[in-house]
Chains A and B, each alone.
Chain A
Amino acid sequence: MAVTAVEVVYRGIFQRLLSRAICRTIVLAARKEGKIGTAFGRYSDSPERNGIPAKYFAVVADDPLELQETLAQYEPKAVDVSIVVDDSLCKGVESWAWYGLQPINELTKEGGTVLVTSIQESADLLEDMHVKDTPYNLAIVKGPKSFSGLWVYKDDHTDVRILGALAKVCPQLVGIDAYKETIREQWDELKETSANRAYDRVQSTPVEPGQGNPEEPFSFDMPGWETMEEALVVRPVSVGGGFRGGEGGFQPERNEVFKKWSTRTMRPVINFETCTKCTLCWLQCPDTCFDVTPEGLYDSDMESCCGCGVCEDVCPVPECITMVHESNFNDNSSQHDHWKRDRDGYMAWLEEMRAASTTEKADVGRTHGFYEVGQYEKEFEQTGVAGDD
């Protein structure tokens, strides 16, 4: 019995067509080898929403009965390859139909592959990817998070480069020749060349059990019909109290299970030394993220922040709040705690973060969404793909 399944983990709106193109081409290419397949997006996601982590699947089988066997469960419970088209999702997948944080490699079979488009090295990605108790491989297609397929952006060949790499790491799904033929039919010879080149160049490293991010991913138990609240009632949490449970400041109580993880692609970093305590970020944040410290400063809670960038926009002090891409962070720890503990260290770190941010604030009142302004171009240059005929 030969059924092969892959998932594409992507960000809503920006990468939906990219993911769709990858999965459709897999199934169309599989037809050339006489196989049968299906391609579908995970329904409980909301891929029409800005940056929401979402999934697309392609399942290929030797014959229709085998395909039925797999599809008897709508969403595959295990996949041969997990394709990740935004490396910040290596921190985990938080679906819009929310049930905690799912490690990026959770569905990856033993001996399977996580295939990421990234300009990071595998060691960096493994800092984010949760530990698994079975071995698998980590393969990288060098490239930035692509918008390819979104009509306003130009085609950077990410779709076919992934397919070329896929033929190498998972030849049992579809071989390179079938992809090349399909790519030529769907697009052109230039894209066929790109696929071939990715096939030759893709790097794969084995990942041993226990290697990776040791954190326990956040999860919770859902209540049953006899124990859950009736009448669609959601009880309020209490208003809250002092900062960190103390006397001074204010910290709202927050929903215990509804936390934010990889939904966000950027987060604010705050300069506590130039803050004028004007309260605007606190008032305007749509997710009530800010805790008021006893000295009247505002510390954003990273388990609540959706990365919308409103705080950066409303802050009247130049460069007091800067939105910085998530790939620069490995945890959700408090910036204010850091600053209190080690002011010089914090300020040095802040500078580093600001330098990492490419946003020209003068040009855009507000950064929000998937990328900082200019980040894609910068990352694309770093891949070396651009100069590569």
Chain B
Amino acid sequence: MTISTTDIREKEQLISGSEAIAIACAMADVDVITAYPIRPYDTVMQFVSKLIADGTLSCEYIIAESEHSQFEIVKHASAVGARVFTGSSGVGWFYAFEALAVTCGLRLPMVAMVGNRALDDPGAFGTEHNDALAVRDLGWMLRWVDTAEEAMDAAFMAWRVAEDPRIYLPCAISTDGAFLTHSQQIVQMPSQEQVDEFLPPYDRGDFVLHPDNPITIAPQVNEDWLIEIRRQTDAAMRRARDVIIEAQDDMNRIFNREEEDPFIEEYMTEDADVVLVGMGTLSLPLKVTVRRLREQGKKVGFVRVKWFRPFPAPELQVALSKFKAIGIIDRDYSLGAPQNGGVLYTEIRSALYDVTPRPPMIGFICGLGGREVTVDSSTEMFDKTFEVAETGHAEEPLLWIGVRS
């Protein structure tokens, strides 16, 4: 077989989500990429290597000896003004946790892909969202995507927002293991000119660590300083909302993508009585189920949360308050949490506290460890949510779906 080189200028590509992000690295002219293998994130490594071998991507590509070093290296590279990309999955991401935590306070715009994976032991590599969600409190911006094309757009978006001087925060793009990292879909590519127009070069200004700009970063601070530093990081995260809205407007215009809300996707919700809410690729069975139930005359819809940090509370408050009941699907768990609910459930419950009318809600945990969320289980979740709409409250606030008993 002739090994063909990837011509990323082709208008249409048959690529996986990981491949899309690797190509985005080439088009964004990333300077430093670090890697350490773990499935399913390792797929991105393969494509990055291939692009480098083909001469399409020119960057420092460092295979570290562990995830901890992997994230430390790009952290430092980012401080000297390099555009960076890295990533991991599952416990690999956790092994880098110290580096993940400090990147936020240092205000370094690291962009990472998390190929979502269960936290083993027990050894498992199917999708669960707990890996990426673990950094939700620290100052990481978190984005969940649904298709290979969205993965590519989200990568450009991530650099643009993270490197904005108003923000300087790290951003992780979550791609569901298998469903996105391992399946090849048709993607309509932006041109290099479009990417260049959308994404300016990374300019760290006078925060750049360089002999010509002698600065010290990350000194020791104690109770006299730290809370002010946290408050600064918090302000940057709060500013991210507007920067994301601005960037999405530009992207829609420059890439000729369909007008879309930056934070949430609403599917057939307009006249819906009952909707389910979730993140990532489970939208596929959910959308199909919505169409099938609508054929039977049931008014149902689906809302997909795209940004988890900053959390789209204003959008969800407007979108969700109009329904008779809502069901929140978590592909994660938060054991011992209120109502024993998952992470998304708990966040949405909190976001809706001040809303009137406040829709009755129910939570579902399903699809853990990469178990398929089927049309049957989606239908079951809609049925349960209809019951909640009828009675006005959930008898059992949280159900596990698709578990062998």
A: residues with CB less than 8 A from B are 17-18, 21, 24, 27-28, 31, 36-41, 43-44, 65, 68-69, 71-75, 148-149, 151, 155, 159, 186-188, 222-226, 232
**B206, chain A: closest CB distance, angstroms:** 47
> What separation, in Å, do the CA atoms of A162 and B126 have in the docked complex?
31
Q: Is the CB of B2 within 8 A of A40?
A: no
> What separation, in Å, do the CA atoms of A28 and B4 have in the docked complex?
15
- B372 contacts across to A, CB distance below 8 A: 73-75
| Binary per-residue interface labels of chain B (1-16) against chain A in the complex, 1 for a CB within 8 Å, 0 otherwise | 1111000000010101
Contacts A38-B183, A222-B404: A72 and B285 contacting too (C-beta < 8 A)? yes
B: residues with CB less than 8 A from A are 1-4, 12, 14, 16, 40, 121-122, 125-126, 177-179, 182-186, 284-285, 287-289, 291, 370, 372, 374-375, 403-405
Contacts A27-B14, A28-B14, A73-B374: A232 and B183 contacting too (C-beta < 8 A)? no
- B370 contacts across to A, CB distance below 8 A: 43-44
Q: Is the CB of A38 within 8 A of B121?
A: no
Among residues of B, the one whose C-beta sits closest to the C-beta of A71 is B284
> What separation, in Å, do the CA atoms of A75 and B372 have in the docked complex?
9
- B40 contacts across to A, CB distance below 8 A: 43
Among residues of B, the one whose C-beta sits closest to the C-beta of A69 is B288
Q: Is the CB of A225 within 8 A of B14?
A: no
Contacts A36-B186, A38-B184, A149-B1: A74 and B288 contacting too (C-beta < 8 A)? no
Contacts A27-B184, A43-B182, A71-B284: A223 and B289 contacting too (C-beta < 8 A)? no
Contacts A27-B184, A31-B186: A225 and B404 contacting too (C-beta < 8 A)? yes
Q: A40-B16, A40-B184, A232-B121 are in contact. List 14 more A-B contacts (CB 8 A).
A: A27-B14, A36-B186, A37-B186, A38-B183, A39-B14, A41-B182, A43-B182, A44-B126, A72-B375, A73-B374, A74-B178, A159-B1, A224-B403, A225-B405
**A354, chain B: closest CB distance, angstroms:** 35
> What separation, in Å, do the CA atoms of A159 and B182 have in the docked complex?
21
B125, B177, B186: residue with the most chain A Cβ atoms closer than 10 Å: B186
**B262, chain A: closest CB distance, angstroms:** 23
Contacts A43-B370, A148-B1, A222-B404: A73 and B285 contacting too (C-beta < 8 A)? yes
List the 3 closest A-B pairs by CB distance, nearest first: A40-B183, A43-B178, A224-B404
- A65 contacts across to B, CB distance below 8 A: 291
**B276, chain A: closest CB distance, angstroms:** 14
> What separation, in Å, do the CA atoms of A65 and B12 have in the docked complex?
19
- Of A17, A31, A73, A232, which one neighbours B122 at CB under 8 angstroms? A232
B4, B178, B289, B291: residue with the most chain A Cβ atoms closer than 10 Å: B178
Q: Is the CB of B289 within 8 A of A72?
A: yes
Q: Is the CB of B182 within 8 A of A68?
A: no
5 contacts between A and B (CB under 8 A): A27-B14, A31-B14, A43-B178, A187-B1, A223-B404
**A24, chain B: closest CB distance, angstroms:** 6
> What separation, in Å, do the CA atoms of A148 and B14 have in the docked complex?
21
Among residues of A, the one whose C-beta sits closest to the C-beta of B186 is A36
**B304, chain A: closest CB distance, angstroms:** 14
- A68 contacts across to B, CB distance below 8 A: 284, 287-288
Q: Is the CB of B1 within 8 A of A21?
A: yes
Q: Is the CB of B403 within 8 A of A225?
A: yes
A28, A73, A186: residue with the most chain B Cβ atoms closer than 10 Å: A73
- B185 contacts across to A, CB distance below 8 A: 38
- A232 contacts across to B, CB distance below 8 A: 121-122
**A291, chain B: closest CB distance, angstroms:** 30
Contacts A68-B287, A68-B288, A72-B288: A39 and B1 contacting too (C-beta < 8 A)? no
Among residues of A, the one whose C-beta sits closest to the C-beta of B125 is A43
Among residues of A, the one whose C-beta sits closest to the C-beta of B181 is A43
- A71 contacts across to B, CB distance below 8 A: 284
- B122 contacts across to A, CB distance below 8 A: 232
> What separation, in Å, do the CA atoms of A186 and B4 have in the docked complex?
8
Among residues of B, the one whose C-beta sits closest to the C-beta of A59 is B183
Q: Is the CB of A43 within 8 A of B403?
A: no
Q: Is the CB of A74 within 8 A of B405?
A: no
> What separation, in Å, do the CA atoms of A72 and B374 have in the docked complex?
7
B2, B182, B183, B291: residue with the most chain A Cβ atoms closer than 10 Å: B183
Among residues of B, the one whose C-beta sits closest to the C-beta of A232 is B122
Among residues of A, the one whose C-beta sits closest to the C-beta of B16 is A40
A28, A39, A40, A155: residue with the most chain B Cβ atoms closer than 10 Å: A40
> What separation, in Å, do the CA atoms of A253 and B255 have in the docked complex?
64
